[in-house]
Amino acid sequence: MELRKKNGWSQEDLASGIGFALLLLVEAAGVYLLTSAGIRKGSCEQLLQEGDYTREVKEPLFTQTYIV
């Protein structure tokens, strides 16, 4: 009761608010991860269909040698 008189919020209210905020942050992170993974998968599938990309592992660009 004393905490409620000082700032207007009880400890239960504060704990519920913090828990709800954490829930929203975790949900937002999950949506971001699912969306970004879907975009990457869709991009790879589109490149495979167009023939610009193969599933075999390629060398990183900085190790390839180019003939000029």
pLDDT recorded at residue 34: 95
Cα atoms found within 13 Å of the Cα of residue 66, Cβ hemisphere only = 4
Structure confidence by residue, pLDDT tens digits, 12-54: 999 999 999 999 999 999 999 999 999 988 888 888 888 777 7
pLDDT recorded at residue 65: 61
Entry pTM: 0.58
pLDDT recorded at residue 59: 56
pLDDT recorded at residue 46: 85
The CA distance from 49 to 53, in Å, is 8
